[in-house]
Amino acid sequence: MSESEVSTSSTSFVNGATYSIKVSGSGALSVVPGKYNDHEVHMRIWEKARNQLWRAEANNDGFGFRNASTGKLLGVNKNGDISCDASDLNSWERFKFEGAGSGSLFSLIYNGSQQYLYQPGQWDSLQVTEHRSLAANITVTRE
Residue-wise DSSP of 5-26: EEE-SS-EEETT-EEEEEETTT
pLDDT digits (tens, 9 = 90+) for 25-72: 899 999 999 888 888 999 999 999 999 999 999 887 778 999 999 999
pLDDT of residue 102: 67
- pTM (predicted TM-score): 0.86
| Predicted local distance difference test score (pLDDT) of residue 63 | 86
CB 77 within 8 A of CB 122: no
d(CA 3, CA 19): 18
Long-range interactions of 117-120: CB distance < 8 A, separation 24+: 117/82, 119/23, 119/26, 119/43
Say whether domain 15-142 belongs to CATH 2.80.10.50.
yes
